[in-house]
Amino acid sequence: MIYLDHAAATPVSKKALTAMQPYFADDFFNPSAAYLPAKKVRAAYEDAKSTIAHCVGAKNNDLVITSGATEANNLAFSLIKKKCLVLATEHDSVLNVAKNYNYEEIAVLKNGLVDLNDFKKKLSADVELVSVALANNELGTIQPLAEIASLIRAERERRLAAGDKTPIFLHSDASQAMNLLDINVSRLGVDLLTVNSAKVYGPKGVGALYLSHDVRLKPLIFGGGQENGLRSGTENVAGVIGFATAFREAKEHLNGNRKKYEKLVKILRDELKKGTVEPIFLGSTKHQLANFCPVSFPGLDAERLIFKLEEAEVYVSTGAACAASKGQKSHTLAAIGLTDEEIAGSLRLSLGELNDEENIKQAAEIINRVVKEEYERRK
């Protein structure tokens, strides 16, 4: 098989798997228990949490471990009393929680980058949270978070000068960026940051929310008071250790990864250009994660392409896996102004550890064949 859907899921790395193994049946103790073996488990858990924190330039106690990015995103929004702004292309786990609050969407430009003029217009005095993903999950677009953070800082200062105590914070979902970008909360200027084990070759069902000291959240889950009372429930020790191991590994390979994927995506694009239907490469190829190759074959039906590619054991998706499985039109592709025909013919190809030059060339050849067959069927 050729797997081109690393934005949907990544296989757990061998190192992460090995690191997790002892914590299932041997060191299985509840980290909150009082005896020595349990205390050792607590120490291993806290150590792993520190590793995750360090990977984003934070401290251990600035993190809340969650059941994944969805929960971390939901928790971030719990600080809102008045209003929030979210980028129109956010993942459903941001957009759908925002809908429970007074919210507005910030427009994006045709290349998927935030429309800063629209943002400035909507940055009103009652906005308490702005949520913009570091990199988009369908287009791989990398947003200028530092610029957004600086506009938010100016608004904070304006409020301070006016004696207005309404706080304002910047949240970013970094789920897709962790393999390719050197994430540092201070450099990005974010107050809250979501990270996701499942996208970085760690186990699924684990994530974390970084929060700066002045952020006050309301827990979504009540119970034994774990994670400083912000996320009760017995700790997912093995999961967090797997996440920490995988995240550290990814951090060590950032540069190598970027070079590898830049080369592979170039090969993929060049090969696809030789096909029957001229592909449109989506988003800003300049401000894009190196492993992303979102592409549209206008006039074709991506659902059929996926089905035919699956027959040839090439696995790709149309945009976000969750939207695709429900047959919905991508809100992200609509937000960048693609026509219905362009959206209908769009595939998200996302590369990762399972790819090399040989299987990328093979995949391109198969995609070109399937596209040609579909094009001829429609004539």
Q: Work out how close the CB of 370 gets to ligand PLP at its nearest, in angstroms, rounded to a whole number.
A: 25
Q: Which is nearer to ligand PLP, 254 or 321 (CB)?
A: 321
Q: Which is nearer to ligand PLP, 142 or 370 (CB)?
A: 142
Closer of 83 and 91 to ligand PLP (Cβ): 91
Q: Is 175 in the site for ligand PLP (CB under 6 A)?
A: yes
Kindly state whether residue 137 participates in binding ligand PLP, applying the rule CB under 6 A. Answer: yes
Asked if 257 is part of the footprint of ligand PLP (rule: CB under 6 A), the reply reads no
Q: Which residues are catalytic?
A: 322
Q: What is the 3-state secondary structure (H, E, C) of the chain?
A: CEECECCCCCCCCHHHHHHHCHHHHCCCCCCCCCCHHHHHHHHHHHHHHHHHHHHCCCCHHHEEEECCHHHHHHHHHHHCCCEEEEECCCCHHHHHHHCCCEEEEECECCCCCECHHHHHHHCCCCEEEEECCCECCCCCEECCHHHHHHHHHHHHHHHHHCCCCCCCEEEEECCCCCCCCCCCHHHHCCCEEEEEHHHCCCCCCCEEEEECCCCCCCCCCCCCCCHHHCCCCCCCHHHHHHHHHHHHHHHHCHHHHHHHHHHHHHHHHHHHHCCCCCCEECCCCCCECCCEEEEECCCCCHHHHHHHHHHCCEECECCCHHHHHCCCCCHHHHHCCCCHHHHHCEEEEECCCCCCHHHHHHHHHHHHHHHHHHHHHHC
Residues 338-357 that bind ligand PLP (CB under 6 A): none
| C-beta of 70 vs 355, nearer to ligand PLP | 70
Contact status: 70 vs ligand PLP (CB under 6 A): yes
x/- letters, 184..213, toward ligand PLP (CB under 6 A) = ------------x-x---------------
Please state the closest distance from residue 164 (CB atom) to ligand PLP, in A: 32
Contact between 176 and ligand PLP (CB under 6 A)? yes
Identified binder of ligand PLP from the candidate list 48, 84, 132, 133, rule CB under 6 A: 133
- Residue 332, interface with ligand PLP (CB under 6 A)? no
Residue whose Cβ sits closest to ligand PLP:
68
Residues engaged in binding ligand PLP (CB under 6 A): 68-70, 91, 93, 133, 137, 173, 175-176, 196, 198
